[in-house]
Amino acid sequence: MPQIVIVALETSTEACSVAAYRDGEMHHRTEEVPRRHTARLLPMLEAVMAEAGVAASAVDAVAYGRGPGAFAGVRLAASVAQGLCTGWSVPALPVSTLAALANGARRRHGAERVLAALDARMGQVYCGAFVAAEGGGMALQGAEAALEPEAVSGGGAAWFGIGRGFAAYPEALPATGAGRDPDALPQARDLLPAALADWGAGRVTPAEAVRPVYLREGV
């Protein structure tokens, strides 16, 4: 059975994060470097690929955090992914930044019901509710949205809250009885459960169709 090689990029928040996956083995790196993503992203990716022993010619697909998140960061991940996919002649695997947060909650905390929230500025959060799915990923319940924190529904005794939306609006967001991780940022390695599921199902995106997702109307 041929090996699957995927590299992953996530720059939607203050974190600049990369990962290289090869047939079950993963190397990753995350740095919190506000406003330095452009300078750090490709050197970090090159370093992680070298650690993993992955050559560009071996890459099957590029996963990227499609957003939501900071405008410049979401755009950077999409544009770099598009460039790599074009140069390497491989498809892209876009993954929600909120899904990556939810996967991080499952990986680090064992959470199976997750409310993910990022600070969207201007008095809003980007939010989505996820539940554990077969195969190790997290399935979105309903739709992702940009909302005032008081307008976010859901939560409850069995739910875990993750993301810096909970740091910005700890009282306004719904209660999460299973705990919270308000300092968490999405990481590239947590894009991989969804990316691998999409790869296995043939849900890939050609380079020319790579797009960021902002959620907020008018952007």
Residue 218, domain member (yes or no): no
Residue 62, domain member (yes or no): yes
pLDDT in the model for residue 165: 98
What's the CA gap between 18 and 188, in Å, rounded? 5
Residue 25 and residue 53 in contact, taking contact as beta carbons nearer than 8 Å: no
pLDDT in the model for residue 1: 38
Domain count, the chain: 2
Residue 216, domain member (yes or no): no
Residue 163, domain member (yes or no): yes
pTM reported for the whole predicted model: 0.95
Neighbouring CB atoms inside 10 A of 175's CB total: 13
Residue 164 and residue 13 in contact, taking contact as beta carbons nearer than 8 Å: yes
Same domain flag for 123 and 202: no
Residue 215, domain member (yes or no): no
Per DSSP, 196 falls in state H
CATH number for the domain harbouring residue 136 = 3.30.420.40
Same domain flag for 109 and 92: no
Same domain flag for 87 and 192: yes
Residue 53, domain member (yes or no): yes
89: alpha, beta or left? (left if phi > 0; alpha if psi -120 to 50): left
Residue 212 and residue 72 in contact, taking contact as beta carbons nearer than 8 Å: no
Residue 44 and residue 31 in contact, taking contact as beta carbons nearer than 8 Å: yes
Same domain flag for 125 and 172: yes
Element (H, E) at 10: strand 5-10
Same domain flag for 102 and 89: no
For residue 75, count CB atoms less than 10 angstroms from its CB and return exposed for 0-12, middle for 13-18, buried for 19 or more: middle
Q: Is 151 helix (H, G, I), strand (E, B) or coil?
A: helix
Residue 219, domain member (yes or no): no
Domain coverage including residue 91: 5-96+186-209
Rg (CA), the chain: 16
Same domain flag for 116 and 190: no
pLDDT (tens digit, 9 = 90+) per residue, 137-170? 899 999 999 999 999 999 999 999 999 999 999 9
Same domain flag for 159 and 193: no
pLDDT in the model for residue 136: 75
Same domain flag for 24 and 90: yes
| Placement of tokens 């997290």 in the chain | 138
Same domain flag for 33 and 56: yes
Same domain flag for 13 and 68: yes
Same domain flag for 148 and 90: no
Terminal alpha carbon distance of the chain: 44
Residue 38, domain member (yes or no): yes
Same domain flag for 88 and 122: no
pLDDT (tens digit, 9 = 90+) per residue, 189-219? 999 999 999 999 999 999 999 999 999 865 5
Residues of the chain with pLDDT under 50: 1
